[in-house]
Copies of this chain bind each other. A is one copy, B any other.
């Protein structure tokens, strides 16, 4: 026997006061409308608790009354994990837990609450002379709790890892309101199972992260950034190997971008100037960090050696902050620029790094066979095998007809190539609602059984984010 929406709002108001609850659907827009507008369920209510104790109170009540809870941060996720799947859930917004509890740049640790906006975490670290190296397109609104729950990646995973590797410990409220206090600032701690990494990336299905201790790094003195011209993904792979060999852990980023991305951005006036050394089939955006006291010029030396070895055809090294900003804008506008050219079908996939050339050539061939004239726009994180394998509709096609006819079949074709190369059908965006059925088809069945057993052990009433990840 489940509670009515009115009873839910009334109970939550009792716990949080009227200011802590939104019951009117017309006031829920900011919490319901996710970036791609794919999911359209309403919620019974939105709860916005002011602190950790109130989060515990909400979860105790939800557990007792078997009310489903959808934890939410900045509502920037791309797979619908942070919005309702059924319509009778309570959205639990962590937005008001937005304190940075402590920050010690020398010790390399910041304790941030779940509601802290990622960009504010960056600013706080930089004001103290340190760096929290997780950069996302959505960092102006993404919040730490969601960043961790989705194990977000971004452009510097190559050097610093995903959100998981950047987190030392978490604090979380469990399904029944108990508080797990794992806010350690230790780099080494072998006292039990790795609960931190279980909660990170669990999309709010195992607990509600309320705070985290995050790793800070010394700010580099500078970056050396270049946009290089490449003939093929094979050439990019060879260049990546040379860069790793010679720059080691200084290599921050290696992003691969196809020529069509530059064409589109120039055509639509999205760049104030061409950041490249001229037309080429592929571009590589490479960056290394330079620490205080280290002489500049390493990247130029490596690229010169690469040119002599035939691993690139031309290159521009950024000579100013404006150059660097333009190169990164070129990369960061890759997703947006596709919308200027009509409909597109997207895949966030990864393969072992060495398989990227095969992934791209086989994926492109499969797509062209299905949809003659389709325009492949594969780009992304060459350094960690994560390609945003996107396709724009053929020039002049009808967007709706393109999506209706080809969305499903193109997914199937691309995932077939990905899985054949030992890859993942969700490299960084997660499962949420969008890929629940896909996960059932492609994941190791024993892994799914283990996941379900863990879910049942930690959330026996199934109230935490039902319908997400495991369905």
Contact = CB atoms under 8 A, between A and B. Distances in A.
Interface stretch (A138-146, A312-320, A397-405, A419-427): A419-427
A294 B454 CA distance: 48
A289 interface: yes
A408 to B, nearest CB: 19
A467 interface: no
Nearest to A449: B178
Contacts of A192: 431, 439, 443, 447-448, 451, 469
A350 B451 contact: no
A384 interface: yes
Contact of A439 (B187, B191, B200): B191
B188 A427 contact: yes
Interface in A179-228: 179-182, 184-195, 197-198, 200-202, 206, 217-218, 220
A26 interface: no
A74 to B, nearest CB: 17
Contacts of A153: 188, 190
B186 A424 contact: yes
A289 B301 CA distance: 18
A239 to B, nearest CB: 12
B447 A174 contact: no
Interface stretch (A1-9, A105-113, A276-284, A331-339): A105-113
Interface in A44-64: none
Given A186-B350, A218-B244, A294-B298, A443 B191 contact: yes
Nearest to A385: B187
A249 interface: yes
Given A191-B431, A193-B201, A353-B108, A291 B245 contact: yes
Contacts of A181: 444, 446-447
Interface stretch (A10-18, A117-125, A158-166, A370-378): A158-166
22 contacts: A106-B241, A107-B354, A164-B194, A174-B450, A180-B444, A180-B447, A180-B450, A181-B444, A182-B447, A185-B422, A189-B426, A190-B429, A191-B425, A191-B442, A192-B439, A194-B198, A195-B447, A198-B198, A247-B291, A248-B291, A293-B302, A293-B305
Interface of A: 104, 106-109, 150-151, 153, 157, 159, 161-162, 164-165, 174, 178-182, 184-195, 197-198, 200-202, 206, 217-218, 220, 241, 244-250, 289, 291-294, 298, 301-302, 305, 350-354, 381, 384-386, 422-431, 435, 439, 442-444, 446-451, 453-454, 456-458, 469
